[in-house]
Amino acid sequence: MGVDVGLARLSNELIAGGIAAYSLGFLGYAIDSAFGNHAPRLPEEKAARLDVRVPALVGAAARTNGAAAPTAPPPSPPPARVSFISAHAGQFAIAVTVVGWLLHLGAIVSRGLSVHRLPWGNMYEFTLALTFTAVTAFLVIMMRQPARYLGVFVMAPVVLALGIAVLVLYVAPAPLVPALHSYWLAIHVTAAIIASGVFTVATAATTMFLVADHYETATAAGRRVRFSGLARIMPSSAVLDRTAYRAYAFAFPVWTFAVIAGAIWAEYAWGHYWQWDPKETWAFITWVIYAGYLHARATAGWRGRKAAYIAMLGFTSILFNFFIVNIFISGMHSYAGV
């Protein structure tokens, strides 16, 4: 089947637009974080509570007898004097993120239509899909809890990754080699993309957790912290830790499933469900590290920073698998193409 060149070109233009929108979004989140109208950094318990949503029923109860509201809404802080730009940077950032997300979606769909297949057959397409999941996960988290603060830390790697994809990894759209002609491509690679995208967002939260935790520990000990402004605009480490954990707890089973689906496919395609192909090996290493993170988080003496370092190590192994293994180590996954 031929390649629809027009659609392929459209895809390239859409992704360029997406990158532009995300870059503006990054700028917006940065301005919002730095100068926006923020609640002052709250003590941990109070801050932790910000993500609680009081259900409607409780509101009803509160009206009838006022007894059941588990949380009073946090008192809104007196508005600081901020410029118009600073005050609206956050909303602007979210708006352009959504625009970028739509362009990004369009780029993926048109790329797929141009080659009549799922557009995740090589590193360029995989990067597009992975960053798309990361932004989707970020938007979903924002719908459920105030999470605009994650914006800078999500948009920076997304823009960077898309830039690398367009400048370095780009390959013209083309059909796939026979080994990839399988519906398992849809199952296995989609799961891997979703998991990696959510891991990316979780890693952003963990990075922020480490900064915030460093700040909190140092402040509690009465030490001065460099770049403390960065930490002051973040939520408390407890909130960040919990946000990150939820993302990991979502992504880990998906990753597990991706590895299993890959093994089932390998059984059909290569005759063995597990052959310690370099990519398999690193998927396994990633899995083991994140399993370690989940256990560490429940183990006295490993909670907090140590667990966070383990999670960071897990993401490092994902990056290693994607860049180093794909490009420098040949294996049975090599047909995936640079």
Partner 1 sequence: MSEIHTDVDDAAAAKLDTAPVDRDEPVEQDELGTRQRGGRSTATSVLGWLRWAWYSLTSMRTALILLFLLALAAVPGSVLPQHASNPLRVRQYYVAHPTLAPIINAIGGFDVFGSPWFAAVYLLLFISLAGCVIPRSRRHIRAMRARPPAAPRNLGRLPHATSWTTEVPVGEVVGASYGLLRSRHFRTDAASTSVAAEKGHLRETGNLVFHLSLLVVLVGIAVSSNFGFTGTVLVTEHTGFSDTAIAYDELKLGDLVSRTSLPPFSFTLNSFDATYERTGATRGAANSFDAHITWQPNPNAPQRTGDITVNHPLTTGGANVYLVGHGYAPHFRVTDGSGQVFDQVTPFLPQGSTFESQGVVKLPDAVPQQLGITGFFLPSAVDDTSGRPISVFPAPDNPLVVIGVFAGNLGLDSGVPQSVYTLDTSKMKLLATTQLAPGQTLTLPDGQGSVTFVGFDQWATFQISRDPGKGVVLVSVGFMVAGLLLSLRVRRRRFWVRAVPQDHEHPGRTLVEVGGLTRTDASGGFDEEFADIVVALQRALPPAAEEPVEQLRED
Round to whole Å and give the CA distance between 231 and 146: 17
C-alpha 231/C-alpha 211 separation (Å) is 6
Which of 6, 13, 71, 91 binds partner 1 (CB under 8 A)? It is 71
**Count of residues of this chain found to bind partner 1 when the rule CB under 8 A is applied:** 81
Q: Among residues 164 and 179, whose Cβ is nearest to partner 1?
A: 179
Q: Which is nearer to partner 1, 25 or 278 (CB)?
A: 278
Q: How far is the CB of 272 from partner 1 (least distance, A)?
A: 7
> Residue 200 CB, nearest distance to partner 1 (Å)?
19
> Which residue in the set 113, 238, 312, 319 belongs to the binding site for partner 1 (CB under 8 A)?
238
116 binds partner 1 (CB under 8 A): no
**Helix (H/G/I), strand (E/B), else coil: 155:** helix
Interaction of residue 66 with partner 1, rule CB under 8 A: yes
Residue 183 CB, nearest approach to partner 1 (Å):
9
Using rule CB under 8 A, residue 75 touches partner 1:
no
In the list 91, 116, 295, 327, the residue contacting partner 1 (rule: CB under 8 A) is 295
DSSP string over 239-261: HHHHHHHHHHHHHHHHHHHHHHH
User: Per CB under 8 A, which of residues 19..48 are in contact with partner 1?
Assistant: 44-45, 48
Cα separation, 152 vs 158, in Å, equals 10
What minimum distance in Å lies between the beta carbon of 47 and partner 1? Answer: 10
Q: How far is CA 162 from the centre of its chain?
A: 14
Stretch that binds partner 1, among 92-100, 128-136, 227-235, 251-259 (CB under 8 A): 251-259
* Amino acid code (one letter) for 274: W
Pick between residue 230 and residue 249 the one whose CB is nearest to partner 1.
249
Q: Looking only at residues 253 through 292 of this chain, which bind partner 1 when binding is defined by CB under 8 A? A: 253, 256-257, 260, 263-265, 267-273, 275-278, 281-282, 284-285, 288-289, 291-292
Count CB neighbours of 11 within 10 A. Answer: 25
Contact call for residues 234 and 211 (beta carbons, < 8 A): yes
User: At what angle are helices 123-144 and 151-164 packed, to 10 degrees?
Assistant: 170
Residue 49 interacts with partner 1 (CB under 8 A)?
yes
175: nearest Cα among 317, 23, 335, 12: 335
Smaller CB separation from partner 1, 93 or 185: 185
3-state secondary structure of 35: helix
**Dist. CA 258–CA 264, nearest whole Å:** 10
Question: Distance between CA 54 and CA 69 in Å, rounded?
Answer: 8
With respect to partner 1, which residue has the nearer C-beta, 33 or 237? 237
Asked if 107 interacts with partner 1 (CB under 8 A), we say no
The residue within the footprint of partner 1, chosen from 9, 13, 70, 85 (CB under 8 A), is 70
User: Nearest to residue 236, comparing CAs of 217, 212, 256, 255?
Assistant: 212
Rounded Cα–Cα distance for residues 313 and 321 (Å): 12
Lookup result for tokens 């957790």: 209
What is the contact mask toward partner 1 in residues 147 to 186, using x (rule: CB under 8 A)? Answer: ------------------------xx-xx-xxx-xx-x--
